[in-house]
Amino acid sequence: MALAGAVVAQLFSNQINPYYLDVILKIGWNIILAVSLNLINGYTGQFSLGHAGFMSVGAYTSAWITMQVGPKVLPQGTGIWFHAGPILLFLAALIIGGLAAALAGALVGAPSLRLKGDYLAIVTLGFGEIIRVIVRNIDSLGGSLGLNGIPAYTNLFWVAAVAVICVYVVLAMVHSSYGRGFLAVRDDEVAAEAMGLNTTRYKIVAFVVGAFFAGVAGGLYGHYTLSIDPKGFDFNKSIEIVVMVIVGGMGNTLGVIGAAIVLTLLPEFLRFLADYRMAIYSFLLIVLMLTRPQGLFTWRRRTKPVVSA
Amino acid sequence: MTGFQKFLQQLINGLSLGSIYALIALGYTMVYGILRFINFAHSDVFMAGAFAGYCFARIVPHHSIFGGLAVMLLAMVFCAALGVFIERFAYRPLRGTSNLAILITAIGVSLLLENVTLLIFNATPKTFPTLIPDKSISAGGVSLTTNELVVFGVTAVLLVALQWIVLKTRMGAAMRAVSFNYQAASLVGINNDRVISFTFALGSALAAAGGILWSSLYPSIDPYMGVLPGLKAFVAAVLGGIGNIPGAALGGLLLGMIEAFVNGSRYSTYTDAIAFATLILILLFRPAGLLGKFQIEKV
């Protein structure tokens, strides 16, 4: 049903002021990024600082497919295949990009199984950087100069559709009886193991699913900005996503969506403060942790707070 | 250059790089040893030291040994104060709460330091003034600059001083006590708060020294200069055994040398990734580090 809404949105997208459209698209993939990170950080309690790395894997992979494989596969001429071709190609590219990112997610999740809190954060950060260095060294992907000329396939339909799917999948997963496992791993890993839960599998699943959507978001991002380079997927980007998750409340999907929207809109409204943005973000982070660690959008008082005193 | 000469040259490069990593790593390891907490903002204290040196260098005559040392001391004092300030206002209120909140706060402090510096000094890298006249000495095909000598010398002095403080003074004994058992230390009358402040001051001062030395070797400073060296120094601390002071020094030197050799090889573009790969390997196979003692909490 929501997918139908997305189609409708796309039909109207041509009438929206291009500037607004730009912002809405940004909101869209920020939602995807934040919700997918929330699955790893918020619901499963694995503090991952490398999310931008997954995004970059998806962006580069999908771009590679549309740019290298596309011209060889797309039929020419008229007819239904000509029109449907790019759509199918993009879909395939996004999915494969997501799968590549998911693979990266499994690779990152695996060694981190034994690590707690601080170490996990640093290792995920390290992985994000390793991915960035590797990408920078692959010349066929443009190296440090970036990859240009990506076909512009992203539009409101795709972003809205993926956002909807992502939110649905995450919510469905977490609220299922299987999904209780994620929360159990977050709240008390030892107890979860004692109850017979395979914490290893839960953590890997969280990383894989989260990374998949981050990769798809990366693909969407790449096919909109038409030019990507490794520097755009660095630690700062990861932190931006982390801030959305924290402000929204770890483990609170609705709150995280709200935070993604707010944190995407705010820089637009406060353009005059653009120089101070990161400084304000960081100050906000500190103040938030000192005063309201459960995030700005959490109202329900849990019996056991996510960040306990 | 022959192979052996290249080897020696890289050895020297590695030692000087490693000395600086060691200085930074000591700060990480001391704070972790006492608080079981990784001070994310430490890398930015390193950067602040470099910038402080940049500012202090203007009021001190250049090209003199004493001027250079004075700048370094001033920067160390400044950063010691900065470290204590950060601990007092950002970390202490959260002591005892979940580790995650402190981690996030540390990230926030790190970003704040970077961005405030960015606002004050703007993003263009600044050139660090030469504090000590830089001459090159050549012996047997291998060259050594006076700056590198200064790095070795200062690091050696600071390491010895640190060992003395930790092993021979009352405060040092208090630091060791708090790192063994936090509660018991306060039970025997140690003022944990003061010990922690002192530890932060010490670590930050060392980071500042590292910052000045780094800027002497690589004179271009910018607000983000601390990120990569800080991360690598953390890896060094883990490599040597986090919480272990000689371990941090050893880890720093080792990592510096590994990096120098990779940098001199065909794979030099992967230099940065080497540090992280090392981290992952260490955490997978020997999480206690090379000199690490058995820790009650498993990593």
Q: Sorting pLDDT into bands at 50, 70 and 90, what band is A305?
A: very low
Q: Which helix (H) or strand (E) holds A13?
A: helix A2-13
pLDDT by residue (tens digit) across B125-165? 878 777 666 777 777 667 777 788 888 888 999 988 998 89
Domain that holds residue A37: 2-235
Residue A112 is assigned to a structural domain of this protein: yes
Q: How many CA atoms lie within 13 A of B87 on its CB side?
A: 27
- pLDDT tens by residue, B73-104: 889 999 999 999 999 988 888 887 777 778 88
Cβ atoms A208, A99 nearer than 8 A: no
* B112, B224, B270, B274, best to mutate vs chain A, most A CBs in 10 Å: B112
Instruction: Summarize pLDDT for B227-246 with one digit per residue, the tens.
Output: 888 888 988 988 888 878 88
Residue A306 lies in a domain: no
| Closest C-alpha among A74, A104, A94 to residue A86 | A74
Total of domains in chain A:
1
Work out the minimum CA distance from B288 to partner chain A, whole angstroms.
12
User: Which candidate, B244, B51, B195, B54, places its Cα nearest to that of B130?
Assistant: B54
Q: Which pLDDT score, from 0 to 100, does residue B20 have?
A: 93
Q: Does the residue A211 lie in any domain?
A: yes
Give Cα separations from A256 to A234, A265, A291, A298, B71 (angstroms): 21, 14, 18, 9, 47
The answer to whether position A271 is within a domain reads no
Separation CA B267–CA B287 (nearest Å): 26
First-last CA distance in chain A = 42
Q: List, in order of start, the domains of chain B with CATH numbers.
A: 3-136+145-285 (1.10.3470)
Residue B22 has pLDDT above 90, yes or no: yes
* Separation CA A130–CA B186 (nearest Å): 42
Chain B residues with CB under 8 Å of a chain A CB are 37-38, 90, 93-94, 96-105, 107-112, 114-116, 118-119, 227, 231, 234-235, 269-270, 272-273, 275-277, 279-280, 283-284, 287, 297-299
The interface pTM score, or ipTM, of the predicted complex is 0.72
The reported pTM is 0.80
Q: Which of B37, B107, B298 should one mutate to test binding to chain A, selecting the residue with the greatest count of A CBs within 10 A?
A: B107
* Cβ–Cβ under 8 Å, residues A197 and A184: yes
- The encoded tokens of residue B247 equal 């371990």
Question: pLDDT at position B42, please?
Answer: 93
Domain annotation covers residue A97: yes
Q: What percent of chain A has pLDDT over 70?
A: 73
In a domain, A303, yes or no: no
